[in-house]
Structure 1
């Protein structure tokens, strides 16, 4: 790859994350400061990239050096040099797996080796935001004829308030749905409508401004779906590993209570985005048993609001990539997306989320710890988007009589790892409580409560035969996500998707973590790393 090509690629990164004004009109590539800034950059030389104080809007310069263990020429320890090429011409610093090479046989780390859990030492948890299963994966059945996937059939209908029938439609070219569909407790109950799942359009109508009858083109959006061209990373991972098509969120409601279930198998009785909880998690029990855990974040992280977790062990996302490279991931690793730029919460552009997922997966795939990893990717709740499957009853919740007797809508769920069934569909009904349950089951810890004990088993996605290297195919390399420069520019202007969480951070004196300069620094280094790894191509 020529130096001119390197410079042009990084110029796009610089303009998108550091060279454009941060308020009002986005000047893009014509900004003089951007031009001066990028002239000193070279994609093959990642050292000493300086963003001026004028660009940052604060005193002093911020210098981004090469990540730990990466020499100035940009070569990563176990990869190819920066001018290596994937078959499609994308510059990358990693090699494509050789399908002819036999994977090593695995020996059990605990137990007698009769269960795949005995071979797993590292769990990676990635929880995204606000999308339903049909919205993301319904097209597998509708367009691709996958009868093993409980997706869309084309017969689904919701009526408008005036009685107009609305059916699912492809959101072609509409990567950023706005306004944000309703997904609070009352909106979710309205959409569910006692199991009819027919209230999505009427709830959406109430949110549209001006009135919905003046915007007929927007009415179908909450019944809209994406396909594999729109979501290449998600579909690529579903093809390669296991798609959990019966993964429900834990409650008909919004982010906070559902995220609490993913850590505590309980929301502490909360049904809204407000309030800390003191419910137990498996993390302290893991630490007491000699295990380790860590949260990686860009701006904010949700375990802050769990007061029982007295040791947060939270670090910035930069360290995740270094830990992957160096083989120093913890036993449990919580990887938070940015709640400004790439968590998939509307009105974010879903291509940013695809780039994030592809980059996190690739970092794990090329880690020396890969053969002992299990990664789960799932969404906190449906985000107000239609799903045709009525939520089933929940099991084992002590607050069942207070409205915690039913799960929420289905969300996209993926189980990823060397011991995960390839190209499979998990039929087990799972929910967010299945995540703390998984941690307890893998590491032999007591369950935090009865709901965790009874939660659907994500281990059903694993195949014991894959501990034999001759049975285990190499993990695939995903094609790069095509990421328009405008996606990054718009993300840098995005409002916080979790204002309640941001308020808590500020009250605790931690608001600097979500400051614009810090966000820009982390986004910049993340994008540069993603480009080197071959997971994104700026267009």
Structure 2
């Protein structure tokens, strides 16, 4: 095939930047490899790889990135007291502005987790969130801290090279587990009639490993249908990649369909098994090497599933106190593994998103379902979007990057998305519908 002049020029620039050290080698390689554009449609994407990381807001990671709706936003929200949204009130009458962490001389990369409970939990008044000025009183002063390019250089380089989404919100204003349920099932329960505490809280059995023997027998597992089940029924190949230590982030483990399985069961192999080489004995010292090795082996053998969910070990998931640099290391090695076989990379899209914001500030308020005339009116059904009279989502804005041969160029996508948008991409590509997604959510994200 003959390369066009523009493509030749592009490859020359990529090679020059990589050689000069301006681009990490993994990014340079991913940029240089061509796409499979046989049909020019979504059908050219044969593999979708989903890596959901933990607990970072968009402004916390990318507010200082040029070209996005970050701290340079020319039209920030005005608070009820007339101050711009950047100027958040503290309980003692002071005002706090976003501030850059000092990662060189402090332990900022190891910052501890802030309150990230359901917005009506821990004594919080959900009405206060309606005014968007509860950040400091409810989360503490560290909520306003953010990282700069030199703190997370690899992620900023990825954003410069591929596509970042600055209108991506977590699905629920709350913690990890219900948000991840939206990614794995399209709901945290209410849209399918399950109004239990799992809808807005981290209701799990405390087994933060891939060891099914540690599942708690008395745990009331969720019983609605997951998207993995729908893929299986449709004959779409899928798998969860995880080590023994998975930080409890494999949401399929909390569903009855994937509990009490025999190791020979196909469901166990796809959803519950940990990758080869990962054991309880090496879980405390893992550097995610077994996870990356398993993915690399499948890529080299051209057996990467059509849909893959990646669940990293605790130290590499970026949940505070896990340092962002560890997550960057994981992603760099993952991209190396995916690009090691150019024929596989040519038909692969990697989605990197974050389940929720922890307690970190973001300045862009999310869409909420209208509950009464004061909030406006909705022409779509909002059932399944309200919990005890409080709108569940959308939640806080979080990062999302799309790394693929089709998303090269440093683009910014400002469409409104949430975790169910990932399922809707899979719906369009593989033709497998997820009826758990509410009509309201389909309309706004």
Q: CA deviation at 1:190?
A: 5.4
Give the match for residue 371 of structure 1: 346
Change (3 A) 1:96 1:342: closer
Give structure 1 regions of 4+ aligned residues with deviation exceeding 4 angstroms: 92-99, 187-192, 394-397
Give the match for residue 381 of structure 1: 356
| Count of aligned pairs | 344
State whether residues 183 and 384 of structure 1, in contact with CA within 8 Å, keep that contact through their aligned partners in structure 2. yes
State whether residues 428 and 456 of structure 1, in contact with CA within 8 Å, keep that contact through their aligned partners in structure 2. no
Supply the distance in 2 between the matched residues of 1:163 and 1:177 (Cα, whole angstroms). Answer: 29
Change (3 A) 1:419 1:94: closer
Secondary structure of 2:316's aligned partner: coil
1:285 aligns with 2:259: no
Change (3 A) 1:188 1:242: farther
Change (3 A) 1:404 1:260: farther
Give the match for residue 115 of structure 2: 182
State whether residues 189 and 252 of structure 1, in contact with CA within 8 Å, keep that contact through their aligned partners in structure 2. no
CA displacement 1:398-444 (0-9 Å, x = unmatched): 32243455310000111121122521111211001112222121101
Q: CA deviation at 1:94?
A: 8.4
Change (3 A) 1:452 1:286: farther
1:272 aligns with 2:194: no
Give the match for residue 305 of structure 1: 254
Supply the distance in 1 between the matched residues of 2:325 and 2:46 (Cα, whole angstroms). Answer: 31
Give the match for residue 194 of structure 1: 129
Give the match for residue 305 of structure 2: 330
Change (3 A) 1:97 1:347: closer
User: 1:338-353 residue pairs with structure 2 within 5 A?
Assistant: 338-339=313-314, 341-353=315-327
Asked which structure has the greater RCO (Cα within 8 Å, sep 6+), the reply is 2
Supply the distance in 2 between the matched residues of 1:96 and 1:306 (Cα, whole angstroms). Answer: 40
Supply the distance in 1 between the matched residues of 2:440 and 2:434 (Cα, whole angstroms). Answer: 6
State whether residues 127 and 336 of structure 1, in contact with CA within 8 Å, keep that contact through their aligned partners in structure 2. yes
Give the match for residue 296 of structure 1: 241
Supply the distance in 2 between the matched residues of 1:180 and 1:392 (Cα, whole angstroms). Answer: 25
CA displacement 1:360-403 (0-9 Å, x = unmatched): 12222333311111111111101000011112125765322434
Give the match for residue 81 of structure 2: none
Q: CA deviation at 1:97?
A: 4.4
Structure 1 residue ranges without an equivalent (≥5): 1-85, 206-218, 459-539
State whether residues 281 and 309 of structure 1, in contact with CA within 8 Å, keep that contact through their aligned partners in structure 2. no
Change (3 A) 1:175 1:87: farther
The counterpart of 1:398, out of the listed 375, 383, 390, is 383
Change (3 A) 1:456 1:343: farther
CA displacement 1:323-367 (0-9 Å, x = unmatched): 12222110101111112x111111122111111122212222333
1:168 aligns with 2:91: no
Structure 2 residue ranges without an equivalent (≥5): 1-17, 74-83, 190-194, 205-220, 260-266, 276-290, 370-379
CA displacement 1:156-209 (0-9 Å, x = unmatched): 11122111111111112144354320001126965982333222211234xxxx
Change (3 A) 1:445 1:184: same
Pair member with larger Rg: 1
The counterpart of 2:167, out of the listed 246, 263, 285, is 246
Give the match for residue 296 of structure 2: 321
1:127 aligns with 2:52: yes
Change (3 A) 1:95 1:153: closer
Supply the distance in 1 between the matched residues of 2:60 and 2:366 (Cα, whole angstroms). Answer: 16
Give the match for residue 62 of structure 1: none
Give the match for residue 144 of structure 2: 223
The counterpart of 1:203, out of the listed 119, 135, 138, is 138
User: 1:481-496 residue pairs with structure 2 within 5 A?
Assistant: none
User: 1:96-135 residue pairs with structure 2 within 5 A?
Assistant: 97=29, 103=34, 106-108=37-39, 116-135=41-60
Supply the distance in 2 between the matched residues of 1:456 and 1:421 (Cα, whole angstroms). Answer: 28
Secondary structure of 2:112's aligned partner: coil
CA displacement 1:262-286 (0-9 Å, x = unmatched): 1111011411001432222222222
Change (3 A) 1:357 1:389: same
TM-score (norm 1): 0.58
Supply the distance in 1 between the matched residues of 2:392 and 2:108 (Cα, whole angstroms). Answer: 34
Change (3 A) 1:349 1:421: closer
Supply the distance in 1 between the matched residues of 2:384 and 2:71 (Cα, whole angstroms). Answer: 33
Give the match for residue 285 of structure 2: none
User: 1:5-44 residue pairs with structure 2 within 5 A?
Assistant: none
TM-score (norm 2): 0.70
Secondary structure of 1:455's aligned partner: helix
